[in-house]
A = this chain, B = another copy of it.
Amino acid sequence: MREEHVSDLPLAILVNPNAEDASMIVEEALYQHWQLLVVGRCSVHYVGRAESKLEPGERTLIIKEDGSLLVHRSVGYEPVNWQPPGCVYHSHVENGVLDIQAVRHRPSESVKVSFDRIFLVSGMSLEDPGEFSLYASEEDMHKAILVSPSLLEEGFKPVSYEKKVDPGFLDVYGQDSEGRLVVVEVKRKTAGKQAAIQLAKYVDSIRERADRQVRGILAAPDIAKGVQTLLSNLGLEFRKLNPKKCAETLRQSKATKLATFFNETKTDNH
């Protein structure tokens, strides 16, 4: 057994400890609400409304600061066992075996991880203030406009999206508050000359068949130098459309749907 106490590190770690020594780090981490990491040979027994058993093997256990639990085998991105935040933990050593048990109510569930060999145990006090930002794909940007048309402009009414027309596919197609047709070309990065020319082709194609005025809007987070002039000369417009904002719009719309779903449905968790 080697014990590490590196003063400027936010972690306590033991390599190859026996169960008793490992349990000291485990107890401390659970008590302090540190992230706990245990790598070793374990079996896992889950009991809830269903039940599962995982025979012994060498795996990674992570218990997070919020009490969520993950047991990971050495292949596959999904955990073989997991529990959401809010579990209450008990640990116990008997006959050289370290048991760590997560217990949860509503639904009543329990996951017991029993280590008979421990390679590595570490309690970690991690700081993570970093913001996570998601930027939508172009397709998601189309959907965001459909979900929240005011992202483009007030009064815009989408009619269809990814619509086939002669030179290709229109990203979004609709009409504005004054009843004019609107053709929208979406780019998720700075829009260049090519995007302006593409939009002009689509607008021309629609104008040939339309009985009313047709507007063309290029929607992108930014426009390349000089392309604004080209757009104006072509009688087209630019709208700033942010992939991050689009991602947030879609996430909110999904969250709303989910909230509606949960209010309308009596669900019981598995």
Contacts and interface: CB of A to CB of B under 8 A. Distances in A.
Contacts of A77: 64, 68-70, 79, 82-85
Given A37-B60, A122-B120, A139-B49, A73 B133 contact: no
Given A6-B15, A9-B15, A11-B39, A126 B68 contact: no
Interface string A52-90: 111111111010111011101111110110111100000
Chain A's interface size range is: 35 or more
A140 interface: yes
Contact of A76 (B39, B53, B68): B68
A124 B73 CA distance: 12
A237 interface: no
Contacts of A58: 10, 124, 126-128
Copies in the complex: 2
A255 to B, nearest CB: 15
A261 interface: no
A52 B137 contact: no
A162 interface: no
B2 A131 contact: no
A203 interface: no
Interface of A: 2, 4, 6, 8-11, 13, 15-16, 35, 37, 39, 43, 48-60, 62, 64-66, 68-70, 72-77, 79-80, 82-85, 119-120, 122, 124, 126-140, 188, 243, 247, 270
